[in-house]
Copies of this chain bind each other. A is one copy, B any other.
């Protein structure tokens, strides 16, 4: 049995708590970060708060092993006095969307092998994709994740806006969205590129720009230019 405390009230804390509650080998208590005066003892204390609060929260914890769940915060900057680690799940967590933890990559880091093995055991209780990732590697993954998740989702939003404006159901685009995500399991993204930018189809590009708002045009132009700079024509 591994005893854990989760500190935090966001989406990561919420979904991790739910997963731990279901796991038979984990005891979990979830507490709010505003209530740190009396933290229960635990094998692993997990800080799942926003990055700018991790330092302060960690400085107030006397439990011996403290980890955080952030993609961009250095393990060494945890301010607890004893053992430190990272329990970063490379996935997008929204309150109202169930998480399938079997598909979540767990990026783990600890100062000692013994602590790493403990984190691995915890991760294996709810998932099965486990990676030993340094702070530097994790920061790389986090910024890459912003491109493939946050920015990609924003492009979906722009696509939905364009459809809404013109009374076309956005759902028609879902198979294309799925295929785009799935295609790069077989092809490198550079080889998977299609469309007017990589074909240098200036007429279509011009027609597209006419259909867009000023802000959409800015994004369209910059991404088109970037594709043309980096991809060879088909």
> Could you mark each residue 129-172 of chain A with 1 if its beta carbon is under 8 Å from any beta carbon of chain B, else 0?
10101001101111111111111111111111011011110101
Tell me, yes or no, whether A114 is within 8 Å of chain B by CB. no
The minimal Cβ–Cβ distance linking A186 to chain B, given in whole angstroms, is 6
Does the CB pair B153–A186 fall under 8 Å? no
On whether the beta carbons of A188 and B160 are closer than 8 Å, the reply is: yes
So how many copies of this chain end up in the complex? 2
Q: Which residue of B lies closest to A104 (CB)?
A: B175
Residues in B with CB closer than 8 Å to A1 are none
A133–B145 Cα gap in the complex (Å)? 35
A173 to B151, CA, bound (A): 14
**CB interface residues, A 187-202, toward B, < 8 Å:** 187-199, 201
Q: A97 — which chain B residues lie within 8 A by C-beta? A: 183, 186-187, 192
Contacts of A211 in B (CB 8 A): 139-140, 143
Instruction: Tell me which residues across on chain B come within 8 A of A92, comparing CB atoms.
Output: 176, 179-180, 183, 192, 194-195
Q: Would B172 and A178 count as touching, CB distance under 8 A?
A: no
A127 to chain B, nearest CB (A): 10
CB <8 Å contact, B72 and A154:
no
Quick one: closest B residue to A165, CB to CB?
Answer: B140
Interface mask (A94-111 → B, CB under 8 Å = 1, otherwise 0)? 101100000111010000
Would A180 and B148 be within 8 Å (CB), given that A90-B173, A175-B90, A192-B153 are in contact? yes
Interface centre among A11, A143, A186 (most CB of B within 10 A): A143
Residues of B within 8 A of A196 (CB): 146, 150
**Residue of B91, B105, B168, B173 touching A148 (CB-CB under 8 A):** B173
- For A150, the chain B residues whose CB sits under 8 A away are 193-198, 223, 227
Flag if B179 contacts A103 (CB, 8 Å). yes
A161 to chain B, nearest CB (A): 8
Residue in contact with A94 in the complex, picked from B142, B143, B191, CB distance below 8 Å: B191
CA distance A162 to B141 in the complex (A): 8
Task: Give the 6 A-B CB pairs with smallest separation, nearest first.
Answer: A150-B195, A157-B189, A181-B181, A140-B166, A156-B189, A144-B159
Could you name 8 residue pairs across A and B whose Cβ atoms are closer than 8 Å?
A96-B186, A97-B187, A140-B163, A140-B211, A148-B156, A149-B177, A151-B223, A156-B184
